[in-house]
Amino acid sequence: MAFFTVNLGFLITVFLSATFSRAHPGLGFGWGGGSGTGGHGQFGGGAVGLFPQFYQFSCPQVNDIVMSVLEKAIARDPRMAASLLRLHFHDCFVQGCDASVLLDDSATIVSEKKSGPNLNSLRGFEVIDEIKAKLEEQCPQTVSCADIVALAARGSTVLSGGPSWELPLGRRDSKTASLTGSNTNIPPPNSTLQNLITMFNRQGLDEVDLVALSGGHTIGVARCVTFKQRLYNQNGNNQPDETLEKTYYLGLKSICPKSGGDNNISPLDFSSPARFDNTYFKLLIWGRGLLNSDEVLLTGNVGKTMELVKIYAEDENLFFKQFAKSMIKMGNISPLTGFSGEIRNNCHRVN
């Protein structure tokens, strides 16, 4: 398993700025309540205030606890790794990586769990709960739900055979959720390439991030309802998507009939659905990408995504390195830090 040290210069910069320029009132090491560095996070490469050693003194065993729960959960259900990776994506694209996705309906909260992209689809909440419970035993009121989701996404990638990365930490949990944000910010599976690029750009992510992060579809599954349009009526002409390879297309039709079967599932990477590797990109080249949003990275004819698909299909190491970088970037989307937000006691509700 490769371990990549990404962006060392950036980490040092963040560490120094946290130490020197904002030494008061908290160094940001998670001591006591008001830890963090005060600044609101920013899009893209440098979320101010997050850094890998955030729990170094307040909960040094945080990652060991996360990994021990993940190991068991993924051994029980290999798909769980995919579900937890996706959870972080769906968290970060709505109000930033603030665990808003975990909030249930309540008097003050309209949960994101009922949005189009999430309903009957998002999973892994009970694994997050199990991690949170263990952490509350060992480091009470210290580790945010948002950081748990980010750690679970990295751990799931590693345990599936993918890359690791130094994960900036110190996110705090939101006191709000956004159902509307969940419906509008998470791209649908029938997106055009231009739409995907636009929606990623809005989050501070570029074409390289789009292609690399779509490589997350090297694990996990999708429901028939998310790819049915491609099989029966791709362009409103009752014809299948012509970029689908014939044998693959016939196989998909048997899983996903024209009417009914909406919840039948098919692997996003059918050749190694539980293994984090670069076969996702090879499959795209063979016309065997499951979602429209997958295949258009090759065929959509905007920008340089086709070239990137080909490069990652050829060079797994390069894909791993870029995936790690892009995951850090996605994980840095608008975190709550300093005195913003809170450390939830229970990931399902605000304190």
Q: Which helix (H) or strand (E) holds 66?
A: helix 62-76
Cα 293 to Cα 68, 225, 230, 298: the distances in Å are: 34, 14, 11, 10
How far apart CA 187 and CA 26 sit, in angstroms, is 38
To which H or E segment does residue 237 belong? none
Closer residue to ligand NAG in complex, CB, 78/261: 261
What minimum distance in Å lies between the beta carbon of 12 and ligand HEM? 26
Both tokens of 49, joined, read: 């205030």
The interface with ligand HEM within residues 104-133 (CB under 6 A) comprises 121, 123
Q: Is 225 annotated as contributing to ligand binding?
A: no
**Interatomic CA distance for residues 323 and 132, integer angstroms:** 26
- Look up residue 185 and give its amino acid: N
Chain-centroid distance, C-alpha 9: 24
Task: Find how far residue 269's CA is from the centre of its chain.
Answer: 17
- Are the CB atoms for 344 and 351 separated by under 8 Å? yes
The reply, when asked if residue 277 is annotated as ligand binding, is yes
Place of tokens 């990931």: 347
Nearer to ligand HEM, 83 or 144 (CB): 83
Nearer to ligand NAG, 17 or 190 (CB): 190
Which residue, 188 or 303, is less far from ligand NAG as judged by CB? 188
188 is an interface residue for ligand NAG by CB under 6 A: yes
**Residues within window 278-297 making contact with ligand HEM, judged by CB under 6 A:** 291, 293
> Would you count residue 261 as binding ligand NAG (CB under 6 A)?
no
Instruction: Please classify residue 144 by burial: count the beta carbons closer than 10 Å to its beta carbon, then call 0-12 exposed, 13-18 middle and 19+ buried.
Output: buried
Query: Which residue among 53, 183, 191, 192 contacts ligand HEM (CB under 6 A)?
Result: 191
Using Cβ positions, the residue closest to ligand NAG within the complex turns out to be 190
Residue 190 is a binding residue for ligand NAG (CB under 6 A): yes
Residue 348's binding partner among ligand HEM, ligand NAG, none (Cβ under 5 to 8 angstroms by kind) is: none
Shortest Å, Cβ 348 to ligand HEM: 19
Which residue in 134, 223, 275, 321 binds ligand HEM (CB under 6 A)?
A: 223
| Helical segments of 204-304, H only | 207-214, 228-232, 246-255, 279-285, 292-299
CB of 137 to ligand HEM, least distance (A): 28
The residue whose Cβ lies closest to ligand HEM is 220
User: Cα separation of 169 and 335, whole Å?
Assistant: 10
Cβ neighbours for 23, distance < 8 A, ≥ 6 positions apart: none
Of 170, 220, 287, 341, the one binding ligand HEM by CB under 6 A: 220
Residue showing tokens 């944000």: 181
Q: Which stretch binds ligand HEM (CB under 6 A): 17-25, 94-102, 213-221, 337-345?
A: 213-221
271 near ligand NAG, rule: CB under 6 A: no
Query: Could you tell me where the beta strands, DSSP code E, fall in 142-253?
Result: 164-165, 221-223
90 is catalytic: yes
Q: Is 214 in the site for ligand HEM (CB under 6 A)?
A: yes
CA atoms within 13 A on the CB side of 87: 33
Q: How far apart are CA 4 and CA 212, in angstroms?
A: 15
Q: Which does 82 bind (CB under 5 to 8 A by kind): ligand NAG, ligand HEM, none?
A: ligand HEM
Identity of the residue, 184 or 192, whose beta carbon is nearer to ligand NAG in the bound complex = 192
Positions marked catalytic: 90
Residues at the interface with ligand HEM (CB under 6 A): 79, 82-83, 85-86, 89, 121, 123, 187, 189, 191, 196, 213-214, 216-217, 219-223, 226, 291, 293
- Binding-site residues for heme b sit at 217
Residues at the interface with ligand NAG (CB under 6 A): 188, 190, 192
- Binding-site residues sit at 91, 94, 96, 98, 100, 112, 187, 217-218, 269, 277
